[in-house]
Each structure stands twice: as C-alpha cells, then as structure tokens.
Structure 1
Amino acid sequence: MPRQPLDDIALDTVFREARTHYGFRPEPIDEATLRRLYDLLKWGPTSMNCQPARYVFVVSDEGKSRLMPALSEGNRDKSHDAPVTVIVAIDTRFFEYMPKVFPSSPNARERFAANPEKAGDTAWRNGTLQGAYLILAARMLGLDAGPMSGFDNAMVDEEFFPDGRYKSNFLVNLGVGDPASQRPRGARLAFEEVAEVV
C-alpha cells in the first residue's frame, strides 16, 4: 500500500522553514539526544549499505580547544558557542564491515580493497549523503544545524584521526538556533533552471 505524504508541518520543519543557523542558544545537548540522532540517521540509504560516515561529536571545552585552531576565523566563534560541533568523516576502510552490512555480496570487501579509487569514491559519496541525513534527522528531533566547510582538513585529521584511517569531510554545528543569527534566505533555483524530464 502506498505511503501517505508527510503533512505540511513535517515538510516545513525539515525543508521549507528550516534554516542554516550561525548562532545557538547556550542550551546543552545531552548524549542521549546524540544517540537518538544517530539511531535515526543510520537508516538513510547508502550504496551496498556501506555506511562509510564516522562522527565525532565535539561537546567539551577540551574538544573545542582541539578543534578551534583548524577553523577559519569566521567559523571559530559560532563553533565555539554551538553546543555540539560534529566532525563528519569517512572511514577509508569502511569495506572491512561489508560482510556484516552487506552479506549478500560475500566478496564485496575484497573488491573494494583491491580497488582503492572505487573505494574512495564510494566512501566520499555515501559519507556525504550520511552527513546530509544527519542534518535532516537533527531537524526532525527539534534541533537546528549549521553545516560548514571553512576548516583545514589536514589539521582536523592530524588532531582527531592521527592513524590516518578516517578523513574529515565537513562540520555541522548543532543546537537550538538563535533566530537573530540568521541571514536573509538565499534564492533557490527554479525547476526549469536545474531539471528536465525526459
């Protein structure tokens, strides 16, 4: 039986009224909420169920002090003040989990291990998708998000992933957004500008 579309409240919460936040109220986010967040986002699809994304939830003053030097100057204050900054990374050896997550293809691990270029492309594409699921799941749980580039990936990787297995992709600040921090909403391109039906 076909699923029913979500109502307008849900669509507004996740897309139409949701905004990128540049400032957050000083309300902490507990670990139970972060676990709920992961337990929701993990159901987003990835190719061959490969799930290459890895997450570091930076919440402590000590963790923030390790992260701040890698951020561009314009991102430091907002990340320092956000209750959580998530480092969304990829596991370059995600394929080691393939026997568990995709047992219907018993040689998937070996195929990726033998083809580093394909493994890398798969990890970055699907890890980025999972980072987007994180943003949507956060909005569904009543949190606001501020995704960011603007940092030195090599510095983050050296500080948080010194063994080289994980590679940082992008950052997401999470919390209860401060409406005063929002900027005017940018225009979105029309269907006719970006799509065609063939």
Structure 2
Amino acid sequence: MNYLKSFLPWIAFAVVATQFDWRWAGLTGLVISVGVLLRARSEGRKPDALIIEWSGLAFFVVLTAIAFSVPASPLKNYTGALTELWLAVTAWGSILIGRPFTLGIARMMTPPESWENPLFKRVNLLVTLVWAISFTVGGVAGIALLNYAPHATFALIALKVLGFGVPAVFTVQYPRAVRARIQKAG
C-alpha cells in the first residue's frame, strides 16, 4: 500500500490528463506531490523512503512550468510517455547509486535487523529493477505509439495499466515467494 501512496500524484496526473488540458494535469500532479510529501514527512518517513515522491515533485514542477509558459508545446502530446521515462530515470538512477528506491519503502515494513541482510538488499534491487524495466518499456512504447498510432487509445491505456500493474504485483509477490522459500528451507 505504501507503493500506491508514492505513485498517487502520477496516477492522478494520468487520470486528469485524459479529461483536461495538460496544464491542469501537471498542476494536479504538483499539488498532490506536495501533499503526499508533507504527509509523509509528518508521519516521520525518512528521505530514503521518499525517492519517488521527491522525483515526482521535481517532475511536476518542471512540467507545470513548461505547460503554463508554453501551452502549445509539442511536449503536451507526450506527457504520458514522459512520466514513465522520468520514473525510469529515477529507478535506474537509484540503482546506479546503490540505493534502489524500493529499499527505503521496504525498510518501513521490515525489522531493522533485516536491513543489512544481503538477501533483503537483493530482493529490493530486483524489485526496483522490474520497476525500472517496466517504466523504460512503457515510456519507449508510449512514444512509439504516439508517433505511429496516436489514436490507439486502448493500447496507450493498456501500456499504463501494465506499466504500473506488472511491477506492483511483482513487488508484492516476489518478496512473499522469497520469504516462503526461506521458511520452507529452515
């Protein structure tokens, strides 16, 4: 459930973008990003558990500034794909610096004695890798669809659903499977 909170601004942005101008979608994402960050900080969440939230805030600040200053920008047609590519850069960047974005979130649900366990770190690396791959594929496929089949609305929606759904299910199921294997083994 903590993962869903992290992606709330992105989900709200996607919903608003289908009904309204990209300026209002960007502003919605920005306002919700600020709200999510303020709430998370008031709940005492640590910075390493807020990577996606801070990334979202940065994205929506930039997007909203561009959308309101250049409303006719060709970027407006690619905002869905750009959101996924931004998230891909965030996920890949967190992997490259050795701090997979899922690690901080997982620490909120795991006892501190597990945090330095190599298996705990490996599981989170793989979970973050699945998110990174999914965002990359979704973003690149979204740009391709928008260039070659811009009216393929169902395909664009399916990409979004799969782009978040597959890694979300993996995020829940993979750690459970690892825990079950450990319990069975010993």
**TM-score of the two chains, using structure 2 as the length reference:** 0.32
Compare relative contact order (CA 8 Å, sep 6+) and give the higher one, 1 or 2. 1
More helix by share: 2
More strand by share: 1
* Structure with larger Rg: 1
**TM-score of the two chains, using structure 1 as the length reference:** 0.31
